[in-house]
A and B are shown apart, each in its own frame.
Chain A
Amino acid sequence: MAAIAHESNHPTQTHHEVTRDVVNTLGTAGTGYFLLLAGAVGLFLVGVVTFVFLLKDGLGLAGYNPPAFWSVYITTFVFWVGIGHAGTLISAILFLFRSPWRTAVYRATEAMTVFAVMTAGLFPIIHIGRQWFFYWLLPYPNQRWLWPNFKSPLVWDVFAISTYLTVSTTFLCVGLVPDIAAARDMMKGWRSKVYGVFSLGWKGTQHQWQHYSRAYLYLAALATPLVLSVHSVVSWDFAMSIVPGWHGTIFAPYFVAGAIYSGVGMVFTLMIPLRKALKLEHMITEYHFDNLSKLTLLTGSILFYAYAMEYFIGWYSNNTYEQTAFWRRAFGPMWWGGWTMIICNAFVSQLFWFKKVRTNLTALFIISIFINIGMWFERYVIIASSLANDFLPYAWSQMRPTWADWGILAGSFGWFGMWFLLFARTFPVVAIQEIKEQIPMPRLRKGGH
């Protein structure tokens, strides 16, 4: 039965058509692409200029209102780390689970992962007071024998992010090799040479395929725990502290679920326009979005549960600090942020119970925007609202972000978008070889000759 169900979703093209369609997405692009790229680079430059000001004058330019010593930058950091997780989940975990629906989308999501982590990795540098000493957080040999403090979650963070970036980049590159070779074979002139260099001499021999499959499997196995560990570590930046609203054992699973939820949201946001622009509608189909939506429904429901549990624990703990923190999250000065997060994440995700929603790409795109906003706000609320109302009421305050916050936030989207756009025109965004694997034997195709 299951086999039949799968069969109906098998690609119907020939191997050659797949290669042709995907490789057609590469090469010279139209005006629309360059406008988008210019927009992304422009946003990135906004971020660069803002950062120059931060370097020159100090972090005071951003809207920090002590006792909230962290705000938009850490929010955006967690946001981008979270975005990355969906990519690894889809490319590694679903690979190990042999889910066929991942094939069409995994390459793009994996690229999204790498660029999201690249974006996130900038924030620990941007947000510290003396950016020029960021390397002090790294355990590098020095004459004073001075190590970072391995007790500090921020040091764990450094390891988690750098590991994640390394593994996900390797995973992406390794997966790309056969496809680059396929592109090389379709290209002419200098392009063929360039792709030739990056295909690392791939000839598609039995021997190469054997090693390649093993390597890919092992890398998938290596990446899999990172889906869970990286965002757990990020969540411990908060959970390991004593700040009411942060200090909770629920944080690691809660953040991982949130990360995947936000990541899939970002996949929707990116893939729906992308498949249209690159004319890949026949490869990335409603079937894929339906399955991604189910993943969103699962993680969104976990978030729903986590939100409910947070408030429940806050109430049940009988801990006045926790109670106040959660009361103020819902009804305090930042109630709008708290409710944005609950509505966009917990409630909007429940729309995916309906197949009509799951397969309506317009609806999906709109919902994905809500998911992105909701997940950014989740982190903002957790950070800004918890910090602003902790133990001593005399010290309470409220965040008021400034242009420097928005400048860096915009710059991060520009930076991410720039890389993603460059990638989409340079490398196959759909995994050619894996699609081909999905194509049934010719005899199964037309009812038999």
Chain B
Amino acid sequence: MSNESAREGLDRRRFLKVVGIGGAGAAVVSGCSTAQVEKLVPYMVQSEDQVPGVPTWYASTCTECAAGCGLHVKTREGRAIKLEGNPAHPVNAGALCAHGQSALQGLYNPGRLQGPMARQADGSFTAVTWDEAIATLAAKLQAAGGKLAVISGAGRGTFTDLFQGWTAAQGGKFARYSAFSFEPLRAANQMTFGTPEVPHYDLARARYILSFGADFLDGSWLSPVETQRGFAESHGYRDGAMAKHVMFAPRMSLTGMNADEWHPPRPGSEAAIALAMANVLLTERGGNPADANALRGVLGPWTPERAQEESGVGAEIIRRVAREFASASPGLALAGGASGQHRSAVQTAAAVNLLNYVAGSVGQTVRFGADLDTGDGYGALLALLETVDRGEAQVAIVHEANPAYTLPRTAGFAAKFAKAGFKVSTSLVLDETAALCDLLLPNHHALERWDDSRPRRGVQGLMQPVMEPVFKTMATGDVLLKVAQKAGGALAQFTAPSYEAHLKAQWLKQLGTDAAWRQALANGGVYGDAPAAPVRLAASAAGAGFTAPAFDGDASPEAFYLLPTASVYGDGRFANRPWLLELSDPVTRITWHSWAELNPETAKRLDVREGEIVQLTSPHGTVEAPVYIFPGLHPEVVAVPLGLGHTSYGDWATGRGVNPLDLLGASDGQGFLPYLATRVTLTKTGRYKQVAKTEGTTRQLGRGIADAMTFAQAKQGMTPALAAAAEGHAHHEVNTEREVEAIEGFDAAQREARRHGEYANDHPMWGMVIDLARCTGCSSCITACYAENNIPFVGEADILRGREMTWMRIERYWEGGEDGEPLEARVVPMLCQHCDNAPCEPVCPVYAAYHTHDGLNGQVYNRCVGTRYCANNCPYKVRYYNWYAYTKTAFPEPLNLQLNPEVTVRARGVMEKCTFCVQRIRAAQHTARLEDRTLRDGDVVTACAQACPSGAIVFGNMKDPASRVTQAQGNHRGYHILEDLNVRPAVTYLAKVLHRVEA
């Protein structure tokens, strides 16, 4: 222990200090900060707001992407242990995506830099003090004489204002850049509407959603939580209504999997389809906006037949979808995003703008005025890099950006950046860019510092330190101010004593009073509506059109279009977090490594099998990855996920997988990085690698696991069984008539018995309803479950043996896709069903598995000896076994600080499983008891239900007839998975509803 604590871990002394500070500094529900206290403060007098064993919550803002979701940070004894969405926040309304949840693993990442470091003459980094580091930077800046270049990935906010002002005061150049910055959308909006802003897309109101290559549900598209929330709102079946979603994209991404129809066009040709649809609307429908008629000339030539020629999607499909789109008002067509970023991406976005405009969606579901933050874009970064390349930067500072990784190698970032005299990084980890720098000034994590964020107009989020910093880092805002004081000169104007003071001063200008400031802190910010900024068609809209985009590389038919996809790892920033590395990709269910997707027919033609390592070669480079055969892919495309293949990003990310950017050329002056612009040749290497996927078989085999029904059937109030019968799939009754009779009799007897005995009385009976019409398979619930329940990751080797510990998993099944039937994806979240007749319970020889009075399947970890009989007998396969001492390997210091003290950390050799978050149930019961009241519906929210952006999960007391869960169980779409087994699960699923094309 003493050896280990010599490292920057958490020894006992430090732990007490954290506790003491938490107690001394924090105020009631996010009142103020954990101010820096230098002394160890024991609990001589108990702080009012810090009760050991009782969590303290702080409001904050998520910085994992530009969306700026509101957070509630749960801290226990001075450490952040769980992130939840802020229900009052207009962007995420209480939900949080997997990326946001994983911020804790960013905070406690063992790969974080532990303090400032400077490069020595021999090229290595050595630790320096903050005073030295600041003095060095100040001296370099003084010497630079304004020759300063700054690349910042920070979103809009007080910090960016300060940083820009600080840079400008010295005459330096500043570019705000992060990957996936939607430059084509802005360019297209400039062209068609005369404004470069990214509008707010209101999916919730849309009655028909068209996606032209926009992977808006894949976690990296504009504001992921809000988008998904809106999608579930409109596309989730309710009261006989639901929107339809049609996607045109070469790959069935998670967005495509959630589409009612998915049509793969030739890569890059979506614009032709959008133009043709706009044309159909314009010619066939009255009531178009008056000025839309000006587009007749532009759209006229774009008949569905011509679009078919360009895209390969049938003219009749285009015409039908266009008519459906016209008849559903308001509709919404979407474009943009990395996977659709080809050389005609601006044309696509412009064509989609015209379609929205003609359909009258602009102003309805496309609302300008919000001005979503997307940074300055790729063009600005390249311009800045040019100045660096010309040697015009004595000092270069990179903040919250990693261009050495997120730019293709062909962009030559490293060579150009090397020409800066003195390079500084504020990165939290030694990423690829930081590794090129001379001075490392690691920033505080967002949960350790004061900050704010303005993701769009009307939304101002605040961040406050929720805990003592894990390492000896310093908020970059403070660094800037300290450097300014040291350097003087042009920087002397920055006189704020600390960044906190600066931030508060800025906010007080707007808020006026201290009380209002405190209120804003408690709320996590100040929220209002964005003022609408109606747009009209710009004259330049006439420039819309479509020219097939150019592709680099081999044009021969043997080559493939390379489609880099944004997966769980985002632009690469999430690749150092085990929660996300182990989170199976929602589409392919692959974990921990890169893969190359191939269409089954293509794979057959090339005679490659899953796991065969292929080499992809473009004019710019080669990468090797094992093949994954994926039916939802255009046959001429090979898709590779972005975000892996780091060369320096902490132990988990470095050397893991490959980076498809290595195959790409740099931009060709369009102002954005064309991800989908390369053709690659594919050669077999003859080597194999077992693909670390979490799925066994991809088909349901008619077992009714993920049930679905058509919209018409849902409107008639059909049950899943009736709907299946209507489709000609009679319900397959597994039991004989006499068995059914026996089961029914047994069931009745059990129900009768429950009215007496120990299950009677006022015990609640917990149950869950999962609405598959709302669930998109995004996997937020899984990461939330990992965070809440101290679930260890097991690593790639054990994933290959199917030993993942995901208490909650998403099962993904394919339907159709053969014999000309359209491919349909079904997802079903699978967790312990807390069966009434649980097969796991009677087989346990030591009563480790037992039934609680409130209807839970309990599991006593201390009693479990690990016979694993329960897991064999569990038909849902939701019991997970500790084959090794995973908790010893999965929480290296300081990652262990995240562990939830309310949940046992399981030992080797015991079985574990979903508990319905029993710790939350008990906490709510305790609270109710203290307040001398009964539990109310909604008092208990499981971690998965809390996180779900779609609101697909409802939890509650099944004995309360008024509870939401009881109401939802009564839904005609309700069914139990494997109902024939008579295990009487407590989880009810509501069948998915699909708009099927009428034959």
Nearest CB in chain A: distance from B777 CB, A: 12
C-beta contact mask, B832-869 vs A, less than 8 Å → 1, else 0? 00000001001111110000000000000001111111
Residue from B705, B803, B846 in contact with A136 in the complex, judged by beta carbons closer than 8 Å: B846
Chain A at the B interface: SS class: loop
Residue from A58, A69, A149, A240 in contact with B885 in the complex, judged by beta carbons closer than 8 Å: A58
Distance A152 CA – B840 CA, assembled complex (angstroms)? 10
Distance A10 CA – B908 CA, assembled complex (angstroms)? 60
Whether A148 pairs with B845 at a CB distance below 8 angstroms is yes
Nearest CB in chain B: distance from A68 CB, A: 8
Question: Chain B residues with Cβ under 8 A from A392's Cβ?
Answer: 703, 705, 811, 830, 875-877, 978
The answer to whether A366 has its CB under 8 Å from any CB of chain B is no
A59 with B846: in contact, given A130-B865, A392-B875 (CB under 8 Å)?
A: no
The answer to whether B873 has its CB under 8 Å from any CB of chain A is yes
The answer to whether B813 has its CB under 8 Å from any CB of chain A is yes
Whether B867 pairs with A60 at a CB distance below 8 angstroms is no
Interface hit among A105-113, A153-161, A298-306, A345-353? A153-161
Whether A390 pairs with B875 at a CB distance below 8 angstroms is yes
Whether B843 pairs with A393 at a CB distance below 8 angstroms is no
The answer to whether B284 has its CB under 8 Å from any CB of chain A is no
Closest B residue to A395 by CB, please name it: B877
Whether B865 pairs with A128 at a CB distance below 8 angstroms is yes
Residue from A57, A148, A241 in contact with B873 in the complex, judged by beta carbons closer than 8 Å: A241
Nearest CB in chain B: distance from A120 CB, A: 15
Whether B872 pairs with A243 at a CB distance below 8 angstroms is yes
Distance A158 CA – B845 CA, assembled complex (angstroms)? 10
Distance A134 CA – B702 CA, assembled complex (angstroms)? 41
Whether A241 pairs with B877 at a CB distance below 8 angstroms is no
Distance A400 CA – B802 CA, assembled complex (angstroms)? 11
A134 with B865: in contact, given A146-B847, A390-B875 (CB under 8 Å)?
A: yes
Whether A60 pairs with B883 at a CB distance below 8 angstroms is yes
The answer to whether A66 has its CB under 8 Å from any CB of chain B is yes
A242 with B873: in contact, given A57-B884, A320-B702 (CB under 8 Å)?
A: yes
A129 with B871: in contact, given A242-B981, A321-B734, A392-B830 (CB under 8 Å)?
A: no
Question: Chain B residues with Cβ under 8 A from A124's Cβ?
Answer: 867
Chain B at the A interface: SS class: loop
Closest B residue to A155 by CB, please name it: B845
The answer to whether A396 has its CB under 8 Å from any CB of chain B is yes
Distance A362 CA – B662 CA, assembled complex (angstroms)? 66
Q: Which residues between 24 and 47 of chain A lie within 8 Å of chain B, taking CB atoms?
A: none
Whether B865 pairs with A152 at a CB distance below 8 angstroms is no
The answer to whether A253 has its CB under 8 Å from any CB of chain B is no
Whether B696 pairs with A130 at a CB distance below 8 angstroms is no
Q: Which residues between 54 and 76 of chain A lie within 8 Å of chain B, taking CB atoms?
A: 57-60, 63-67, 69-70
Question: Chain A residues with Cβ under 8 A from B877's Cβ?
Answer: 66-67, 390-392, 395
Distance A133 CA – B860 CA, assembled complex (angstroms)? 14
Distance A158 CA – B867 CA, assembled complex (angstroms)? 13
Q: Which residues between 795 and 821 of chain B lie within 8 Å of chain A, taking CB atoms?
A: 798, 801-803, 811-813
A394 with B696: in contact, given A136-B863, A243-B873, A320-B701 (CB under 8 Å)?
A: yes
Closest B residue to A390 by CB, please name it: B875
Nearest CB in chain A: distance from B908 CB, A: 5
Nearest CB in chain B: distance from A321 CB, A: 7
Whether B876 pairs with A391 at a CB distance below 8 angstroms is yes
Whether B869 pairs with A393 at a CB distance below 8 angstroms is no
Question: Chain B residues with Cβ under 8 A from A243's Cβ?
Answer: 872-873
Question: Chain B residues with Cβ under 8 A from A360's Cβ?
Answer: none
C-beta contact mask, A120-150 vs B, less than 8 Å → 1, else 0? 0000100111110110110000000010110
Closest B residue to A321 by CB, please name it: B734
Nearest CB in chain A: distance from B275 CB, A: 41
Whether A129 pairs with B802 at a CB distance below 8 angstroms is no
The answer to whether B732 has its CB under 8 Å from any CB of chain A is yes
The answer to whether A443 has its CB under 8 Å from any CB of chain B is no
The answer to whether B910 has its CB under 8 Å from any CB of chain A is yes
Distance A321 CA – B733 CA, assembled complex (angstroms)? 11
Distance A90 CA – B869 CA, assembled complex (angstroms)? 33
Closest B residue to A402 by CB, please name it: B801
A-B pair number, CB within 8 angstroms? 167
Whether A242 pairs with B875 at a CB distance below 8 angstroms is yes
Whether B876 pairs with A152 at a CB distance below 8 angstroms is no
Question: Chain B residues with Cβ under 8 A from A395's Cβ?
Answer: 696, 802, 811, 877
The answer to whether B695 has its CB under 8 Å from any CB of chain A is yes
Nearest CB in chain B: distance from A279 CB, A: 47
Question: Chain A residues with Cβ under 8 A from B866's Cβ?
Answer: 59, 128-130
Distance A43 CA – B387 CA, assembled complex (angstroms)? 72
Question: Chain B residues with Cβ under 8 A from A59's Cβ?
Answer: 866, 883, 909
Closest A residue to B703 by CB, please name it: A320
Residue from A128, A321, A397 in contact with B802 in the complex, judged by beta carbons closer than 8 Å: A397
C-beta contact mask, B430-454 vs A, less than 8 Å → 1, else 0? 0000000000000000000000000
Q: Which residues between 292 and 325 of chain A lie within 8 Å of chain B, taking CB atoms?
A: 318-321, 324
Distance A243 CA – B869 CA, assembled complex (angstroms)? 11
Closest B residue to A59 by CB, please name it: B883
The answer to whether A16 has its CB under 8 Å from any CB of chain B is no
Closest A residue to B699 by CB, please name it: A393
Whether A152 pairs with B864 at a CB distance below 8 angstroms is no
Distance A59 CA – B842 CA, assembled complex (angstroms)? 24
Distance A115 CA – B875 CA, assembled complex (angstroms)? 36
Closest B residue to A58 by CB, please name it: B884
The answer to whether A228 has its CB under 8 Å from any CB of chain B is no
Whether A67 pairs with B842 at a CB distance below 8 angstroms is no
The answer to whether B882 has its CB under 8 Å from any CB of chain A is yes
Distance A131 CA – B695 CA, assembled complex (angstroms)? 31
Distance A58 CA – B869 CA, assembled complex (angstroms)? 17
The answer to whether B700 has its CB under 8 Å from any CB of chain A is yes
Whether B703 pairs with A58 at a CB distance below 8 angstroms is no
Q: Which residues between 184 and 217 of chain B lie within 8 Å of chain A, taking CB atoms?
A: none
The answer to whether A151 has its CB under 8 Å from any CB of chain B is yes
Closest A residue to B883 by CB, please name it: A60
Residue from B697, B798, B813, B839 in contact with A60 in the complex, judged by beta carbons closer than 8 Å: B798
Nearest CB in chain B: distance from A193 CB, A: 45
The answer to whether A432 has its CB under 8 Å from any CB of chain B is no
Question: Chain B residues with Cβ under 8 A from A58's Cβ?
Answer: 882-885, 908-909
Residue from A134, A155, A393 in contact with B703 in the complex, judged by beta carbons closer than 8 Å: A393
Closest B residue to A246 by CB, please name it: B872
Whether B843 pairs with A152 at a CB distance below 8 angstroms is yes
Question: Chain B residues with Cβ under 8 A from A324's Cβ?
Answer: 701
Question: Chain A residues with Cβ under 8 A from B698's Cβ?
Answer: 393-394
Distance A391 CA – B700 CA, assembled complex (angstroms)? 10
Nearest CB in chain B: distance from A298 CB, A: 32
The interface centre, meaning the residue of A70, A129, A387 with most chain B CB atoms within 10 A of its CB, is A129
Question: Chain B residues with Cβ under 8 A from A387's Cβ?
Answer: 872
Nearest CB in chain B: distance from A213 CB, A: 40
The interface centre, meaning the residue of A60, A63, A387 with most chain B CB atoms within 10 A of its CB, is A60
Whether B813 pairs with A242 at a CB distance below 8 angstroms is no
A130 with B909: in contact, given A58-B883, A387-B872 (CB under 8 Å)?
A: yes
Q: Which 7 A-B pairs have the closest CB atoms?
A: A129-B866, A129-B909, A396-B696, A60-B883, A393-B697, A69-B868, A394-B811
- Give B contacts to A, CB under 8 Å: 695-703, 705, 732, 734, 798, 801-803, 811-813, 830, 839, 842-847, 863-869, 871-873, 875-877, 880-885, 907-911, 978, 981
- Give A contacts to B, CB under 8 Å: 57-60, 63-67, 69-70, 124, 127-131, 133-134, 136-137, 146, 148-149, 151-155, 158, 237, 240-243, 318-321, 324, 387, 390-397, 400
List 24 A–B pairs whose Cβ atoms lie within 8 Å, in order of A's numbering: A58-B884, A64-B881, A65-B803, A127-B867, A128-B866, A129-B866, A129-B868, A130-B865, A133-B865, A136-B863, A149-B842, A155-B845, A241-B843, A242-B839, A242-B875, A390-B877, A391-B876, A392-B830, A392-B978, A394-B696, A394-B811, A395-B802, A395-B877, A397-B801
